Amino acid sequence: MSFEFACSIDEFREGEAVGATVGDQDVALARDGDEFFAVEDVCSHAAVALSEGEVEGCTVECWLHGSRFDLRTGKPTGLPATEPVATFPVEVRGNDVYVDVTTTLNGVTPQ
């Protein structure tokens, strides 16, 4: 695996995602308790950054049309989105969050 630095844990705020560029891939990072997640930072329904949406539990919302995506699987949990977004492996090292954008956990090819 090829993990690269994405952000610091200090950048996370309750209910908010963090946008980062890792390599040439934009990712939305989210935290649920002690778990950290990284998904492709674009809604599969419209070209909207998921990092600008609200995080609730293990989901992130697309602020434009209201679709929510499961951070563990990338699958939409409600319309209008019907296609999943790519999910990426995350490692926490001390106070830093690393993401491997060369591998997807759910087999979805990033847009």
Give residue-wise pLDDT tens across range 47-71. 899 999 999 999 999 999 999 999 9
Residue 1 has pLDDT above 90, yes or no: no
Instruction: Tell me how far apart the alpha carbons of residues 14 and 26 are, in angstroms, rounded to a whole number.
Output: 21
Q: Which of 30, 50, 52, 34 is nearest to 42 (CA)?
A: 50
Local confidence band at 81 (pLDDT 50, 70, 90 cut-offs): very high
Q: Residue 38: in which H helix or E strand, if any?
A: strand 35-40
Q: Which residue has the higher pLDDT, 81 or 111?
A: 81
Could you tell me the two tokens for 95? Answer: 């106070």
- The one-character DSSP state at 109 is P
- Per the prediction, the chain carries an average pLDDT of 96
Mean pLDDT of 26-47: 96
Q: What pLDDT is recorded for position 78?
A: 87
* Residue 92 near residue 2, CB atoms below 8 Å: no
Q: What is residue 80's predicted lDDT score, i.e. its pLDDT?
A: 96
- State residue 19's pLDDT score: 98
